[in-house]
């Protein structure tokens, strides 16, 4: 583990971040940082920065980072969580798309041997090149769902995730059959992991504040497949098609996928009149395994 903390960085950061903004900041310290960050925030990137050291520490605690871990942080922002992670992990790979923040992080953390700053799109980054890793991050809102699916695709080397996301999204991920919040995201994440909401973070903790509250959710990756699924791509297709129109019955939704869906559901003891949000992951797996490739209708 390499220790690279800059505990007295508030004034240098103030001077650096305010340079070139064209604004006079009368108050030093945190207020000037907040004002400046608002001026550089990229709204299209959906980033809301968190500075509360107690909350940041709790996120790192929930990630259970060991001194031998490689940790990936996505959307490092101004480096508040990054600073905590590099004090605990063997290596931190911070991936960000904002070139302005990337350049500032290079200055702030110059000389940190266990930090690798990467200016790249986290959705297309090659995670297979880094070996076993954990993820701890305040995820930019606009890429949360596709990013979670992208990371779960690396489950062979992904050992766990601790993410700060929108509270409503966290509730959907951790939802159970029978709830309105239960859907595609619930099924697909719980197929390969055990998600658990750790704690809620109020919107007032962020700068600038988002319109909704957030939550920290942990993902404990399963070491073995939860179910015996013949074709995972077909399973995903069945789940997505089942939830395509939530007000319709399972049979109606899956009719567009397989001509003989009624008989298939009957043969495995599942009522075609059920709503998709009432099915367990096991039942979705039984449906997918029962549908042969030949019965799946082409999309185009």
pLDDT band for 256, please (50, 70, 90 cuts). confident
Q: How many helices (H) and strands (E) does the chain have?
A: 12, 9
- Say what percent of the chain tops pLDDT 90: 71
Q: Decide the pairing of beta strands 158-166 and 115-119.
A: unpaired
The CATH number given to 10-221 is: 3.40.50.150
Give strand ranges (E) for the chain: 49-50, 70-74, 91-96, 115-119, 133-138, 158-166, 193-201, 206-207, 214-221
Task: Report the distance separating Cα 145 and Cα 163, nearest Å.
Answer: 12
Asked if 187 contacts 242 with a C-beta cutoff of 8 angstroms, the reply is no
N residues, the chain: 300
Task: Report the distance separating Cα 209 and Cα 241, nearest Å.
Answer: 36
Q: What is the rounded average pLDDT of the residues 269-291?
A: 96
Tens of pLDDT, residues 209-244:
888 999 999 999 998 878 889 899 999 999 999 999
pLDDT band for 12, please (50, 70, 90 cuts). very low
Least confident of 39-48, 58-67, 117-126: 39-48
Q: Torsions phi, psi of 247, nearest 5?
A: -80, -15
Look at residue 29 and tell me whether its pLDDT is greater than 70. no
Tens of pLDDT, residues 95-142:
999 999 999 999 999 999 999 999 999 999 999 999 999 999 998 888
What class has domain 232-295? mainly alpha
Q: Cis before residue 208, ω within 30 degrees of 0?
A: yes
Task: Report the distance separating Cα 116 and Cα 114, nearest Å.
Answer: 7
Q: What residues does each domain of the chain span? A: 10-221, 232-295
Which has the higher per-residue pLDDT, 227 or 69?
Answer: 69
């Amino acid at each position: 583990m390499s220790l690279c903390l800059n505990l007295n960085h508030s004034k240098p950061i103030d001077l650096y971040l305010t340079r070139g903004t064209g604004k006079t900041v009368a108050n030093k310290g945190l207020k000037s940082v907040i004002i400046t960050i608002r001026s550089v925030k990229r709204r299209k990137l959906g980033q809301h920065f968190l500075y509360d050291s107690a909350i940041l520490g709790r996120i790192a605690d929930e990630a259970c980072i060991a001194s031998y871990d490689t940790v990936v942080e996505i959307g490092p922002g101004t480096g508040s969580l990054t600073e905590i992670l590099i004090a605990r992990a063997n290596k931190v790979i911070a991936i960000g798309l904002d070139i302005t923040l990337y350049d500032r992080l290079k200055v702030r953390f110059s000389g940190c041997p266990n930090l690798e700053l990467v200016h790249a799109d986290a959705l297309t980054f090659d995670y297979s090149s880094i070996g076993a890793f954990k993820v701890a991050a305040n995820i930019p809102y606009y890429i949360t769902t596709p990013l979670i699916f992208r990371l779960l695709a690396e489950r062979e080397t992904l050992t766990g995730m601790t993410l700060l996301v929108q509270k409503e999204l966290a509730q959907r991920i951790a939802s159970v059959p029978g709830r309105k919040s239960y859907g595609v995201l619930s099924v697909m994440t719980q197929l390969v992991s055990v998600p658990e909401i750790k704690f809620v973070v109020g919107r007032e903790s962020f700068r600038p504040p988002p319109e909704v509250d957030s939550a920290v959710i942990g993902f404990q990756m399963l070491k073995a497949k939860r179910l015996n699924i013949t074709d995972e791509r077909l399973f995903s297709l069945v789940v997505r098609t089942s939830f395509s129109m939530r007000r319709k019955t399972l049979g109606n939704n899956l009719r567009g996928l397989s001509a003989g869906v009624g008989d298939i559901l009957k043969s495995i003891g599942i009522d075609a009149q059920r709503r998709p949000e009432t099915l367990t992951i096991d039942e979705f797996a039984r449906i997918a395994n029962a549908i042969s490739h030949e019965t799946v209708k082409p999309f185009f």
